[in-house]
Amino acid sequence: MVTSADRSGEAPVRAKRADARRNERKLLDAAASVFVDSGVDAPIREIAASAGVGMGTIYRHFPTRADLVVAVYRHQVEACAEAGPALQDGAESPFTALREWVDLFVDFLVTKHGLAHAMGSDSSGFDTLHAYFLDRLVPVCERLLDAAVDAGEIRPGTRAYELMRGIGNLCIGSDSDPDYDPRRMVELLLRGLRRPVSS
């Protein structure tokens, strides 16, 4: 089934060319910058121009826009994912850990123009983004959720995926509407999770 190329453990593929790596770098930097100014919906041409490359290049490196977004924010998503277990150990109670982690997640979403909206939409070619975010973060959320359930702080029956989608949705459109603060709504949602304190 396999051919001769992969006899050794080393990768048999030729390493990426130097200009390719350079351009990928330039694209990531440019995209990050453009996303801040114009949101993740910024025209592809604008990103390409800002990076000083052609459009073919951008599509070769990041076939779909979601791939680019994922690449740009991978670090932050990773940080968020890793914060989960850390909070779980450090916080005074499982529910507090959950709340603090959700705060982190919300902060991440509201500081990036339109990211929440992009994450929520499963069409429009944003599938990849939807999938990545959720694959990476849902398990983290699930552990926090389960711990809080086990501790009797919240009622069972709510699934991590649904909760995260709900939180993500609540963060949509928080830009340019000073009368809508998603944090308050998320706070309400978490509160709704709580089991009435018995003590």
Partner DNA sequence: CGGGAAGCGGAGCGCTGTTCCGTTTACTAT
Partner DNA sequence: ATAGTAAACGGAACAGCGCTCCGCTTCCCG
Residues that bind its own copies (CB under 8 A): 117, 120-123, 158-159, 161-163, 165-166, 169-170, 172-173, 176-177, 179-182, 184-185, 187-193, 196-197
- Token duo for residue 165: 């989608």
| Smallest separation, CB 91 to DNA (Å) | 41
| Smallest separation, CB 132 to DNA (Å) | 17
**Cβ closer to DNA: 54 or 139?**
54
Window 18-47: residues binding DNA (CB under 7 A): 18-20, 22-23, 41-46
**167 with 106: CB under 8 angstroms?**
yes
Please give the Cα distance from 39 to 175 (Å, whole number). 10
136 makes contact with DNA (CB under 7 A): no
Choose the one of DNA, its own copies, none that binds residue 158, judging by a C-beta under 5 to 8 angstroms depending on kind.
its own copies
2, 10, 56, 123: which one contacts DNA (CB under 7 A)? 56
| Smallest separation, CB 121 to its own copies (Å) | 6
Residues 138-162 as b/e (b if ≥16 CB within 10 A, e otherwise) read bebbbbbbebbbeeebbeeeeebee
Choose the one of DNA, its own copies, none that binds residue 61, judging by a C-beta under 5 to 8 angstroms depending on kind.
DNA
**84 with 140: CB under 8 angstroms?**
yes
**70 with 109: CB under 8 angstroms?**
no
Residue 33 CB neighbours (<10 A): 15
| Smallest separation, CB 195 to DNA (Å) | 45
54, 152, 156, 173: which one contacts DNA (CB under 7 A)? 54
Residue 74 CB neighbours (<10 A): 13
Interface segment toward DNA; rule CB under 7 A; list 59-67, 91-99, 103-111, 178-186: 59-67
Angle, CA of 178, 183 and 184, to the nearest 5°: 85
Please give the Cα distance from 78 to 137 (Å, whole number). 9
**Cβ closer to DNA: 47 or 164?**
47
